[in-house]
């Protein structure tokens, strides 16, 4: 099988390419040029492209670079800024997966005659008796990335490979070391590639969107502080609000952008029995009954029922079996049946 492996310059994709080569596939590596600005996150930098190219050469593989900078700006960076301007907290890495890695790259792979695309994600793909497929949690629970892959449809799953999903991260590094790969001990990238640690989110957005100063109030409506930009505040946030210390921790429980108001409360005030979502999509048909729902990339999946709006199948309410923390509008909400992804949606506010 002819496989195009997306090589980010990290250890996971390096080993993914090696495993596929050793299985006898015709493997070609590709590194994506997405962001032309500064990057210090260990992703999308010049050194990462160099690492990927040198790993491919070490493995005896052809290597190419695809420039998707314009598509990345249109589908990831632009919507990231627009979401903040609208008071939402976006997931740019999920949108990169949705629009770039498993759409634009796969389209080009088809044009070039590749049978499949592969990445170094820690996830698996499970084929079911009825012929459908689902994304399944990776073997290493601590590194599982199924949450950020919830958008993959049946056609994409049929053409996608996750070679390292069935082994642990420790095993990945051991195999990389045994192969003499330069990425064997390279740290994982952690942050959004276009937000530098020095610059920060606020500096990146400043000039791209207007900032609105706002008041901070408690749940009784009493003014207790102010923020310079309501657009930079997110539900669940505890720090960076400029509030006086001492006393019980206070968390953001609501962000009212039109009213330029941030409401803070206790950990108990942050809890809710239900979470509205939009953009609901099922991986292989609707599933009823109790499911496990996860609201962050490395969060714990909690029992819930998905109550679909009878007038719009893409709108639903997540009804928690036990109260859970509110989810910031714009964040992904992913439902599992055991370890299999069955649905994904986006949190919204009432």
CB 306 within 8 A of CB 343: yes
When computed from its CA atoms, the radius of gyration of the chain, rounded to whole angstroms, is 21
How far the first Cα of the chain sits from its last, in Å, is 48
Q: Which of 43, 44, 93, 193 is catalytic?
A: 193
Query: What is the rounded distance in angstroms from the CA atom of residue 55 to the CA atom of residue 52?
Result: 5
Any idea which residue has 């009493």 for tokens? 222
DSSP E strand stretches across 160-265: 160-161, 214-218, 223-227, 251-256, 261-265
Task: Give 58's contacts (C-beta < 8 A, 6+ positions apart).
Answer: 179, 180, 181, 182
Count of alpha carbons within 13 angstroms of residue 9, beta-carbon side: 19
Q: Which two tokens stand for residue 106?
A: 């796969």
Backbone φ and ψ of 197, nearest 5°: -65, -35
Q: Which of 43, 44, 93, 96 is catalytic?
A: 96
CA 309 to chain centre: 26
Pick the closest to residue 271 from 253, 291, 295 (CA basis): 253
CB 281 within 8 A of CB 315: no
* Active-site residue, 193 included: yes
* Active-site residue, 44 included: no
Query: What is the rounded distance in angstroms from the CA atom of residue 333 to the CA atom of residue 337?
Result: 14
Other CB atoms within 10 A of residue 82 CB:
13
Q: Could you write out the three-class secondary structure of 111-175? A: HCCCCEEECCCCEEEEECCCCCEEEEECCCHHHCCHHHHCCCCHHHHHCEECCCCCCCHHHHHHH
- Enumerate the active-site residues: 96, 193
């Amino acid at each position: 099988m002819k496989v195009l492996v997306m090589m980010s310059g990290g250890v996971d994709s390096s080993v993914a390419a090696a495993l596929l080569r050793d299985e006898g596939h015709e493997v070609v590596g590709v590194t994506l040029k997405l962001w032309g600005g500064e990057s210090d996150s260990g992703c999308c930098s010049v050194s990462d492209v160099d690492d990927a190219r040198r790993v491919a050469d070490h493995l005896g593989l052809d290597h190419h670079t695809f420039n998707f900078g314009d598509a990345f700006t249109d589908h990831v960076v632009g919507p990231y800024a627009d979401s903040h301007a609208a008071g939402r907290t976006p997931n740019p890495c999920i949108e990169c997966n949705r629009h770039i890695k498993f759409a634009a790259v796969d389209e080009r792979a088809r044009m070039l005659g590749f049978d499949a695309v592969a990445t170094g994600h820690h996830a698996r793909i499970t084929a079911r008796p009825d012929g459908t497929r689902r994304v399944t949690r990776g073997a290493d629970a601590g590194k599982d990335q199924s949450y950020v892959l919830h958008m993959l449809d049946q056609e994409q799953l049929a053409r996608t490979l996750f070679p390292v999903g069935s082994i642990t991260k420790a095993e990945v590094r051991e195999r990389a070391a045994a192969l003499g790969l330069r990425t064997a001990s390279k740290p994982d990238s952690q942050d959004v590639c276009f937000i530098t640690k020095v610059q920060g989110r606020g500096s990146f957005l400043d000039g791209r969107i207007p900032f609105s100063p706002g008041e901070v109030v408690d749940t009784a409506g009493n003014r207790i502080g102010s923020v310079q930009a309501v657009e930079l505040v997110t539900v669940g946030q505890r720090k960076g609000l400029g509030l006086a210390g001492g006393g019980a921790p206070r968390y953001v429980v609501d962000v009212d952008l039109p009213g330029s108001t941030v409401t803070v409360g206790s950990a108990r005030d942050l809890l809710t029995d239900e979470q509205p979502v939009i953009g609901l999509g099922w991986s292989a048909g609707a599933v009823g009954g109790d499911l496990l729902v996860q609201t962050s990339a490395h969060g714990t999946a909690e029992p819930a029922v998905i109550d679909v709006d009878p007038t719009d199948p893409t709108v639903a309410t997540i009804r928690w079996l036990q109260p859970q923390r509110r989810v910031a509008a714009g964040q992904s909400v992913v439902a599992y049946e055991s370890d299999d992804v069955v649905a994904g949606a986006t949190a919204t506010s009432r």
